[in-house]
Amino acid sequence: MRMLIIISCAPLLFFLFSFSHEREAVKEVPPAERVVYPRVVKLHPPAVHFAIALPLFALLLEGLYHIQRRRPDEVEFFTLLLSAGAVVGAAITGYVAHESMENLPISQQALEVLHTHETLGIVLALLFTGILFLRLMYAFKPVQVVHHLYLLLLLVGVAGLLYQGSLGGKLVYDFGLGVSR
């Protein structure tokens, strides 16, 4: 029970502390050069960190269960539930952030990466919703085919999230989107 409480409280603590860097990270830029983003754009990075970490943790937990020859249990289900929620939350905050960045004066290459990033985010949100649905099916009717299918989709989803993260990193670090400039 203690492990379940720790797993459920840790994301909240990380989210609360994720805003502590804002004061130090912002450099003074002349008002004419400053791009002002809506507040919701700053919600996307913490959501994204959970959307990458939690599914990766769920995949590692599945691997551990497989090595120990344990059947999936409540902890694994709760981790998968948090993972799917984090991916959907990241997709929602990303969609809202995308809407505010699409009209900025950015290069065509950055715009293409932004659209690919957005499309992949929506696909991953749908994929993780499907994974959660398969896991729920497995909870009511434990058929090995369903278990193997959701494991395969979880592996594909985590790989997609890692690629998605590299696209997001390219947008921020190569093109400067979402940062004060």
Q: Tell whether 12 is covered by a domain.
A: no
Could you tell me what percentage of the chain is helix, strand and coil, using 3-state DSSP and rounding each to the nearest 5?
80, 0, 20
Residue 31: predicted pLDDT: 55
Residue 137 in this model has a pLDDT that exceeds 60: yes
Domain count for the chain: 1
Residue 11 in this model has a pLDDT that exceeds 80: no
Residue 14: predicted pLDDT: 57
Query: From CA 64, how far away is CA 61, in angstroms rounded?
Result: 5
Residue 24 in this model has a pLDDT that exceeds 60: no
pTM check: above 0.85: no
Q: Tell whether 10 is covered by a domain.
A: no
Q: How many CB atoms lie within 10 A of CB 159?
A: 11
Instruction: State the average pLDDT over residues 43-62.
Output: 94
Q: Tell whether 3 is covered by a domain.
A: no
Inter-residue contact 85 to 132 (CB < 8 Å): no
* Dihedral sign (CA 85, 94, 57, 147): positive
Inter-residue contact 62 to 69 (CB < 8 Å): no
* Dihedral sign (CA 99, 110, 17, 5): positive
Q: Tell whether 2 is covered by a domain.
A: no
Q: Tell whether 5 is covered by a domain.
A: no
Q: Tell whether 116 is covered by a domain.
A: yes
Instruction: State the average pLDDT over residues 60-78.
Output: 92
**CA 107 from centre of chain:** 25
Long-range contacts of 171-177 (CB under 8 A, 24+ apart): 171/110, 171/113, 171/114, 171/117, 174/110, 175/106, 175/107, 175/109, 175/110, 175/113, 177/101, 177/104, 177/106, 177/110, 177/114
Residue 149: predicted pLDDT: 96
Residues 6+ apart with CB under 8 A from 102: 111, 114
Q: Tell whether 153 is covered by a domain.
A: yes
Residue 4 in this model has a pLDDT that exceeds 70: no
DSSP H helical ranges for 43-107: 44-67, 74-101
83-135, pLDDT tens digit by residue?
999 999 999 999 988 877 777 778 889 889 999 999 999 999 999 999 999 99
Q: Where on the phi/psi map is residue 34: left (φ > 0), alpha (ψ -120 to 50), or beta?
A: beta
The domain containing residue 122 runs over which residues? 37-174
Minimum mean pLDDT among 21-30, 48-57, 71-80, 131-140: which range? 21-30
Residue 22 in this model has a pLDDT that exceeds 90: no
77-91, pLDDT tens digit by residue?
999 999 999 999 999
Q: Tell whether 16 is covered by a domain.
A: no
